Copies of this chain bind each other. A is one copy, B any other.
Amino acid sequence: MAHLAHQPVGGAVDAPPTVIPLASPTPVLAVDALCKRFGPDLEVLSAVTLSVSRGESVAVIGANGSGKSTLLRCCVRLIEPSAGRVRILDTDVTAARRRVLRRVRQRVGFVFQRHNLVPRLSVLSNVIHGAMGRTGALAWHQGAASPAMRGEAMHCLERVGLAELARRRADQLSGGQSQRVAIARALMQRPEVVLADEPVASLDPSAGAEVMDLFARLMRDEAVTVVFTTHNLEHARQHAGRVVALRGGRVSFDLETARVPFDALGDLYAR
């Protein structure tokens, strides 16, 4: 099945039913022919097409530099796509004006590969930041937040196992702790969609498994849609319903997990 890695298969919106049975007619996340160029001769994403339904869990895999982070970032327009469209939750993100974009982003929890915590604030403040979309700028600091919000933030921290570090300054965390704070911040958004960029790369095996389980619970109990990138194929196999593989900025394959040739992915990662 190694040939799969070479020729893009299915998953494109213009021919979805044959390959992937979409769970619901209107996808939660629909990426259509997305392109991103940095400068004239650096095309990082080439016509990426992808569709994710409510409650699905999709793993995005691919070699370093294959465009995974760029894809996720384009989805919420942290990077302005060069061409193509992205729809999230029935909103055309690529065309959205500022207010609309804000409303969509509020519903999407994003976990950054580099965590992106505010270094000088406490862990708790950083988590409460997740609520800013719905409660406004007052959530900038734990000292200014309402008791309910503080309680909820503690709950989110507890879910990632860091409640006892609430008071610590964010720049005094270990790598894995800071990653988990970033996840807690995304949870604080009460997201309908989670886009997580290597959310467990710095986590120890047990913490990584817990986070993946947490995502699974969110999907099951609250119909949250999760798209995560990972280099850990075991995680992709166990926790994703579908796997999208990127190679050089193109979709190499887009398959239900059961059909992914996990043992023959050499080509995907070959340089």
Contacts and interface: CB of A to CB of B under 8 A. Distances in A.
A65 B165 CA distance: 11
Interface stretch (A6-14, A120-128, A129-137, A168-176): A168-176
A171 B69 CA distance: 14
Contact of A269 (B198, B201, B207, B233): B207
Given A180-B64, A271-B161, A69 B203 contact: no
10 contacts: A63-B206, A64-B174, A65-B174, A65-B176, A69-B174, A69-B175, A113-B175, A161-B271, A202-B231, A205-B265
A114 B203 CA distance: 14
Contact of A203 (B173, B231, B233, B266): B231
Interface string A107-151: 000000110000000000000000000000000000000000000
Interface residues of A, number: 33
B269 A202 contact: no
A208 interface: yes
A41 interface: no
Interface in A199-229: 201-208
Interface of A: 38, 62-65, 69-70, 113-114, 161, 172-177, 180, 198, 201-208, 231, 233, 265-266, 269-271
B198 A202 contact: yes
B204 A201 contact: no
Contacts of A177: 64-65
Given A69-B175, A172-B38, A198-B175, A204 B63 contact: yes
Contact of A205 (B180, B204, B231): B231
Contacts of A63: 176, 204, 206-207
A180 B206 CA distance: 26
Contacts of A265: 205
A201 B201 CA distance: 6
A124 B106 CA distance: 40
Contacts of A198: 175, 202
Contact of A64 (B64, B207, B233, B266): B207
A113 B202 contact: yes
